[in-house]
Amino acid sequence: MSADYAVHGDVAVISMNNPPVNGLGLATRQAIVEGLQQAKNDAAVKAIVITGAGKAFSGGADIKEFGSPKALQEPHLLSVISAIENCPKPVVAAVHSVAMGGGLELALGCHYRVAAPGCDVALPEVKLGLIPGAGGTQRLPRVIGVEAALNMIVSGEPVKSEMLAMLPGQTLFDLMSASKDSLLQEAIAFAQGVVGTTPLPLVRNLPCKHPNADAFFKFSHNMVNGMTKGKYPAPPKCIEAVQNATKMKFDQGMAAEREIFTNLMWTPECRALRHLFVAQRAASKIDDVPSDTPQREIKSVAVIGAGTMGGGISMNFLNAGIPVKMLEMKQEALDKGVGIMRSNYEAQVKKGKLKEDKYKERMGLLSTTLNYEDLKDADLVIEAVFEEIGVKEQVFKQLDAVMKPGAILASNTSTLDVNAIAHFTQRPQDVVGLHFFSPANVMKLLEVVRGADTAKDVMASVMSVAKKIKKTAVVSGVCDGFIGNRMIEQYSRQAGFLIEEGCTPQQVDKAVEKFGFAMGPFRMGDLAGNDIGWAIRKRRYQEKPDMKYSKTADLLCEMGRFGQKAGKGWYDYQAGKRDAIPSKEVEDMIANHRQSLGISVRKISDDEIVQRLVFSLVNEAAHILEEGIAARASDIDMVYITGYGFPVYRGGPMMYADQFGLFNMLQAMQRFSQNPHDDASFWQPAPLLARLVAEGKTFN
């Protein structure tokens, strides 16, 4: 059973009990219907209260049943709601903590609703590429008004119960309880007070009107289309469904809602968004590290380096209320770093995103030092120094000498060998890679690099602290570039070959941005600094002399065109602006380089550009999976969605490849391998990819 049944005097209480958020899985739905039947059959029971045990009323659909036959098995949620509406005894929802999705729809099907303050109320289905599918678009507008309901449904964002209770004319809540603790007793008393009411009130019977409906819905469509640029089908369908509530009889509106919901379920965008929903939760789990692994306490953090990365990393911990001690070699560098952090916070205050007292509180948690000895009591230390193995060696030897036993020693390296770094110390079990992405205080991704000796409790501890600082943590094994940068190198190589063969940087960038990337490879290079890639390539020329690169990126750097910071890169930039202006100097350099290679320019389609760039990511990712560097294909999707601007509605490179068809992808790769100006050996399919195609399987 996933619900408990108890009788308090003449009121039956059905408590959903499916931790952690009382998801409405099959067993829970069955238990609610059985509880209703038991209460109806008991003459001593005069009313019924439905609530949720533990930390939620209900968070909606049970994600464990996503895509399984159980999700569609009767009693469906619509049938449960119908059983509640048709119950001859009053049914009161006692709502607390979380009432989202199907949980809110269940409450809307009850005759009455009593809510505790602080309850998060939402219909978040749009975030999965769907609309509410159990009456949410038809009932919510009837109880809080069309405009408020549409805002909630299109945004999917939660609203506090006490805010909803203040809406003029709202009939969502019949009573606000004094507190969560008193909710059940107040709901039972309320239920006793409505015994004998006939007819029992039903939300479905309430009117649903808007005084200026046509203009309001047209405005809403324009707003949504402007924000989503037509890439997400669900938001306009939310508007259509709510508009139906104002025009159709209730049962017609419900039938239309169900049809829209079912059609959206099979769109590529919905499949991608549902995939990412599950992938995000899967990424936080490490197969050989049990969830009950004891964790090391992280109450204070030290950060080495006050540059852009060190300052950004520090802000994450300050924002979470964790004290930070920042170390630099010179006072001037410390002062500069702290000044940049202050200006970042002050900009948030100015925009109204941060209150002045919070800003002061956060900066009050920051201290600075020039002495390694002052870091000795920190629970976690993260180095963010220059990306050179000799520099890392000096830092970790000093940390090994001063840090207390049990402290976690982390490197923010983006490419270097974490195992080598760990063995600069006498405690390799305490060393881990924490690769933050720039700007570190903004970007969601955190690659957690697990060394050969990294202890399980260290992994459990850093995954937990990642959640506290609101990062999406993905575990990577040790290899050059880990998951994200190892893949992006192949993407960048393809971008270089494309401009040698006839593209301009802006053509490549526009094709990829039209596909949905936040930024094309050349604009991205200018933002990150082209000299960073130059340094990596110089290392590659020594380590992998057979690896083929376009020389255009090196020629660009030899011209001093390092990107936005230099005012010129693949594009020209005006002082104080970030607009990328095509450069005649760069076009001439590319043309001269092509001439020196004897390459005749050819017309290259946007489709070829996108496929070469995206499939290069996928083929390298297949090697990464085969080698065990990443645990799952969905982890790689999370890396690219949260760290590299891959379009969310495509679900990540691996999900996109699955939807494109791995057989079709292999055919394209065979074509690319015939191109004399490309790298034929790279386009040989990774063994895992070839195996999946042969077996008719997919990555996810």
Q: Supply the residues annotated as catalytic.
A: 105, 125
Among the listed residues 102, 93, 80, the one whose alpha carbon sits nearest the alpha carbon of residue 172? 93
Query: What Cα–Cα distance (Å) separates residue 400 from each residue in 106, 139, 428, 430, 478?
Result: 56, 62, 10, 10, 21
Cβ–Cβ under 8 Å, residues 150 and 242: yes
The DSSP output letter for 58 is B
Q: What residues have CB less than 8 Å from 178, skipping those under 6 apart?
A: 186
| 470 Rama sector, left if φ>0, alpha if ψ -120 to 50, beta otherwise | left
Cβ–Cβ under 8 Å, residues 526 and 570: yes
Distance CA 172, CA 149 (A): 11
Handedness of CA 622, 626, 630, 635 (dihedral sign): positive
Among the listed residues 156, 136, 158, 154, the one whose alpha carbon sits nearest the alpha carbon of residue 221? 154
Handedness of CA 414, 417, 419, 423 (dihedral sign): negative
Strand ordering across the sheet containing 3-8: 3-8, 11-16, 47-52, 91-95, 112-115, 175-176
Strands 445-449 and 581-582: unpaired
Buried b (16+ CB within 10 A) or exposed e, 246-283: bebebeebbebbbebbeebeebbbbbbbbbbeebbeeb
Among the listed residues 499, 526, 500, the one whose alpha carbon sits nearest the alpha carbon of residue 511? 499
Cβ–Cβ under 8 Å, residues 461 and 614: no
Among the listed residues 119, 116, 115, the one whose alpha carbon sits nearest the alpha carbon of residue 158? 119
Distance CA 64, CA 471 (A): 23
Distance CA 552, CA 597 (A): 11
Distance CA 149, CA 224 (A): 15
Distance CA 7, CA 2 (A): 17
Structure tokens at 621: 């990712």
